[in-house]
Structure 1
Amino acid sequence: MEFLIKSVINIRWLFDTILRLVQSNYLIILIVIGIISVCLYWLFFVPLNWNKHVDDWLCQKGDNGYRGKYKCATINRLRKARKVGAKELPPPYPNGWYGILESSSIKPGESTFVSCLGEQFVVFRSEEGTAFILDAYCPHLGANLGIGGRINGDTIICPFHQWSFQGTDGLCTNIPYSKNIPPATRIRKWISTEQNGFVFLWYNAESSELPWTLPISPEVENNGFVYQGRNEFLVNCHIQEIPENGADLAHFKAIHNESIIAGGYNPKNSIFRWLGQHSWHASWDYTREKHIAEIRLKHSLKFYQKINLFEIDVVGKQIGPAFVHLTLKSSIFGECQIFQTVTPIEPLVQKVVHRFYATRKMSPILKILIYGESVMFERDMNMWNQKLYRKSPILVPEDASIKKFRKWYAQFYTENSKVFGLRDNNDW
Structure 2
Amino acid sequence: MSDVHKSDATDARTPSVAVWQVLEKLKGQELIDWRLAETTGRASVEERNLNIGLPFGWYPIELSANLACGEVEPLRYFSKDLAMWRGENGQVHIVDAYCKHLGAHMGHGGKVHGDLLECPFHSWRYDGAEGVVKEIPYARVIPPQVKRKCIRTWHVTEANRWIWAWYHPQDAAPLWEVALLPEASDPSWTDYEVHEWNVWGSIQNMAENGVDVAHFRYIHGTANVPLGELRWGEWGRGADVKAKMGTPWGEVDGCISYDTMGPGQSWTRFTGICETLLVACLAPVELDHVHVRFCFTQPRAQAEGERAGVAKAIIRDICKQFDQDKVVWDRQKYETNPIICDGDGPIPQFRQFYSRYYPKT
Name the TM tier (shorter chain). 0.7 to 0.9
Aligned length: 322
Q: Partners in 2 of 1:174 and 1:376 — Cα distance?
A: 51
CA spacing shift, 1:60–1:128, aligned 2, 3 Å? farther
Letter in 2 for 1:345: V
Question: What displacement does 1:408 show?
Answer: 0.3
For 2:106, which of 125, 145, 161 is the aligned residue? 145
**1:298 aligned partner:** 242
**2:255 aligned partner:** 313
Q: Partners in 2 of 1:58 and 1:158 — Cα distance?
A: 45
Q: Partners in 1 of 2:136 and 2:245 — Cα distance?
A: 64
Is the 1:92–1:239 Cα contact (8 Å) retained in structure 2? no
**1:199 aligned partner:** 163
- CA deviation digits over 1:288-344, x for unaligned, max 9? x311011222355559xxx965553111112111220212222x53x3211112212
- CA deviation digits over 1:365-419, x for unaligned, max 9? 4432221111111111122123322111111233341111100001111246xxx
- CA deviation digits over 1:40-65, x for unaligned, max 9? xxxxxxxxxxxxxxxxx979889xxx
Is the 1:121–1:146 Cα contact (8 Å) retained in structure 2? yes
Is the 1:279–1:301 Cα contact (8 Å) retained in structure 2? no
Q: Secondary structure at 2:227's aligned position in 1?
A: strand
**Where in structure 2 are the equivalents of 1:87-98 lying within 5 Å?**
88-89=49-50, 91-98=52-59
More helix by share: 1
For 1:326, which of 252, 261, 268 is the aligned residue? 268
**Where in structure 2 are the equivalents of 1:15-414 lying within 5 Å?**
75-80=39-44, 83-84=46-47, 86=48, 88-89=49-50, 91-185=52-146, 186-208=150-172, 210-257=174-221, 280-283=225-228, 285-287=230-232, 289-302=233-246, 309-330=251-272, 332-333=273-274, 335-363=275-303, 364=308, 365-414=310-359
- CA deviation digits over 1:234-263, x for unaligned, max 9? 1121110111111112222332236xxxxx
Q: Partners in 2 of 1:255 and 1:301 — Cα distance?
A: 20
Q: Which moved more, 1:377-386 or 1:180-189?
A: 180-189
CA spacing shift, 1:178–1:83, aligned 2, 3 Å? closer
Identical pairs, percent: 27
Q: Secondary structure at 1:212's aligned position in 2?
A: coil
- Dislocated runs of 4+, deviation >6 Å: 57-62
Is the 1:246–1:284 Cα contact (8 Å) retained in structure 2? no
Question: Larger Rg: 1 or 2?
Answer: 1
Q: Secondary structure at 2:314's aligned position in 1?
A: helix
Q: Partners in 2 of 1:123 and 1:196 — Cα distance?
A: 19
Question: What displacement does 1:153 show?
Answer: 2.4
Q: Partners in 1 of 2:317 and 2:25 — Cα distance?
A: 23
- CA deviation digits over 1:145-188, x for unaligned, max 9? 11111112211111111111122222211110012112251422
Q: Partners in 2 of 1:367 and 1:380 — Cα distance?
A: 20
Q: Secondary structure at 2:313's aligned position in 1?
A: helix
- Calculate the TM-score normalised by the size of structure 2: 0.80
Q: Partners in 1 of 2:214 and 2:111 — Cα distance?
A: 51
**1:69 aligned partner:** none
Q: Secondary structure at 2:256's aligned position in 1?
A: strand
Q: Cα RMSD over matched residues? A: 2.8
- Calculate the TM-score normalised by the size of structure 1: 0.68
**2:30 aligned partner:** none
Letter in 2 for 1:220: A
Letter in 2 for 1:347: L
Is the 1:154–1:168 Cα contact (8 Å) retained in structure 2? no
Q: Secondary structure at 1:242's aligned position in 2?
A: helix
Letter in 1 for 2:334: Y
**1:275 aligned partner:** none
CA spacing shift, 1:297–1:116, aligned 2, 3 Å? same
Is the 2:23–2:324 Cα contact (8 Å) retained in structure 1? no
Question: What displacement does 1:201 show?
Answer: 0.9
Is the 1:224–1:359 Cα contact (8 Å) retained in structure 2? yes
Q: Partners in 2 of 1:59 and 1:346 — Cα distance?
A: 25
CA spacing shift, 1:213–1:125, aligned 2, 3 Å? same
Is the 1:162–1:176 Cα contact (8 Å) retained in structure 2? yes
Q: Partners in 2 of 1:58 and 1:177 — Cα distance?
A: 57
